[in-house]
Structure 1
Amino acid sequence: MSKPLIRVVLIEDDLMVQEVNKQFVERVPGFKIVGIASNGLEGLEKLRELGPDLVLLDIFMPGQNGMETLKQIRQEQLAVDVIVITAANDIQTIQTMLQNGAVDYIMKPFKFNRVRQALEQYRSLKSKLEQDGTITQSELDRLLHKKSESVGDPRELENEHELPKGLQELTMKQVLSFLVNQSSSLSAEEVAEGVGLARVTARRYLDYLEKKKQVKIDMQYGTVGRPINRYLLVAGNPNKDQKDHK
């Protein structure tokens, strides 16, 4: 029996972060983005219209910030749970958001594993609290305080490494996504053109992926000049596996 779908609204003004959040949420089975808003006022309209289970809420936004939005959600008694995803790391802000009922608080920059952990913990709590009957103290303690035991696919954990300074996770995903669809090796210049990067930038990502053994170098020699390094996603790479099984 499949788990009930958990419907999520994103309230976030940064378009790139919107896309990252959407991808992260929908990588977790059972979660679906049903609406996206760029500020608190627009977000409240989405919540009233769509009636989602969960909202991912930023704090720093134009028009109406996340702190004011969360207070209004509680004043209107909207039946929605809130996970805060924000760059705000001061104690007063964190305390205010938790006091107003945020079930989790994730600081930017963040990794997919942290978002997955928050969503899976939320799903466990929501599922238990929607059941009839009673619950023991130990069961409640486990739901409220124990981190999710589900670690997902170990191949994904291998990819959640800390990137070197200057490399961005979203760009790395774009490079991998581009390589997945290639049947032959490409030069750094071809990858740069395909992804929309400077050649030197593409080369940095490719060299890092080669170091992590996610791509291999196919060195080709011309009639004159230096050999050209060409890059190909290695067999067995989880990104390639996902494409092959679609």
Structure 2
Amino acid sequence: MKTIRVLLVEDDPMVREVNRQFIERVEGFKVIDMASNGIAGIKKIKESSPDLIVMDIFMPEQDGIETLRQIRHENINVDCISVTAANDVQTIQQILHLGVFDYIMKPFTYERMEQTLIHYRQFKEKIESNDDVTQEELDEMIGQVRQQREEAEQAIQLSQELPKGFNRATLDKVIFYLKQSKNGASADDVATGIGVARVTARRYLDFMEKNRLIRVDIQYGSVGRPVNQYFIEE
């Protein structure tokens, strides 16, 4: 498997180091260089020709949106994943119109970064596997990118509606756990899987059910009370 070479552009040194560790925990990814703003980022892109940029939006001297505009204007052949604290529609639309593969909202979990990088690697492998693609293969690749963006938009919308006392990072963990549980999961399963109390897991699951993000099947065993089994809505 070809190593994907990543340029990390982030102005906060502590966040930059955490992101570097997150990226390099995912198999097949290597951070080859880092920059603290968009001006330095453009210079390093031209010097090292990375496959992928993981870039913050709010940075001094030159922010991520202006940097993306410059990349597109100069027709630089590089993909970008945006990392941002922004959750307003106008900023999100600007980011999307500039052709990012995905955007991740701060604060985020390792699992959220891992999910995006795995999807990106799968996309790159399919694109580079053949010189020509069929309509079916193209539809599948576009569909994966569209699904990735829809999931990100859904997460942003949901984060704006979180009740008091809820945490977006915990919500992301619940969503990720359910996505991996093809046969569904109970509140006990979720609690154990992400390391929270059962009552906490149940609160998040009830919230997600109310917002129609998950469905619930009641399963009856031979002994004891029926158990709610939760499934992520695809």
> TM-score, normalised to structure 1's length?
0.57
1:52 has 2:45 as partner: no
Distance in 2 between residues matched to 1:73 and 1:62, nearest whole Å: 18
Aligned equivalent of 1:82, options 80, 83, 95? 80
Q: Which residue of 1 aligns with 2:225?
A: none
Aligned-pair CA distance for 1:45: 0.6
Which residue is equivalent to 1:127?
125
Q: Distance in 2 between matches of 1:29 and 1:77?
A: 29
Which runs of structure 1 show a deviation greater than 6 angstroms over 4 or more consecutive aligned residues?
Answer: none
What is the Cα deviation at residue 144 of structure 1? 3.5
1:138 to partner: Cα distance: 4.2
Q: Specify whether residues 133 and 64 from structure 1 end up closer, same or farther in structure 2 by C-alpha distance, changes over 3 A only.
A: closer
Contact 1:40/1:69, CA 8 A, preserved across alignment: yes
Aligned equivalents of 2:16, 2:143: Cα separation in 1: 28
Report the counterpart of residue 21 of structure 2 in structure 1: 23
8 A contact 1:40–1:64 mirrored in 2: yes
The residue that corresponds to 1:102 in the other structure is 100
RMSD: 2.5
> Alpha-carbon deviation of 1:165?
8.8
Partner residue of 2:138 out of 116, 137, 140: 140
Partner Cα distance (1:112, 1:145) in 2: 24
**Which residue does the alignment assign to 2:66?**
68
Q: In the TM superposition, what is the alpha-carbon distance from 1:101 to its structure 2 partner? A: 1.0
Aligned length: 155
Q: Which has the higher contact order (CA 8 A, sep 6+)?
A: 2
1:40 alignment partner in structure 2: 38
The TM-score, its normalising length taken from structure 2, stands at: 0.60
Change (3 A) 1:137 1:114: farther
Cα distance in 1, alignment partners of residues 116 and 140 from structure 2 = 14
Q: Decide which structure has the larger Cα Rg and report it.
A: 1
Alignment of 1:226-241 (within 5 A): none
Deviation, structure 1 residue 125: 1.0
Take 1:115 and 1:11, find their aligned partners in 2: how far apart are those partners? 15
Amino acid paired to 1:120: I
Which protein has the bigger helix share?
2
- 1:51 and 1:133 mapped to 2: Cα distance? 21
Shift of 1:16: 1.3
**Superposition pairs for residues 182-201 of structure 1, below 5 Å?**
none
Other structure's SS at 2:108 match: coil
| Structure 1 residues without counterparts, runs of 5 or longer | 149-163, 170-208, 212-246
Secondary structure (helix, strand or coil) at the match of 2:68 reads helix
The 3 A distance-change label for structure 1 pair 14 and 165 is farther
Cα separation, 1, equivalents of 2:10 and 2:132: 37
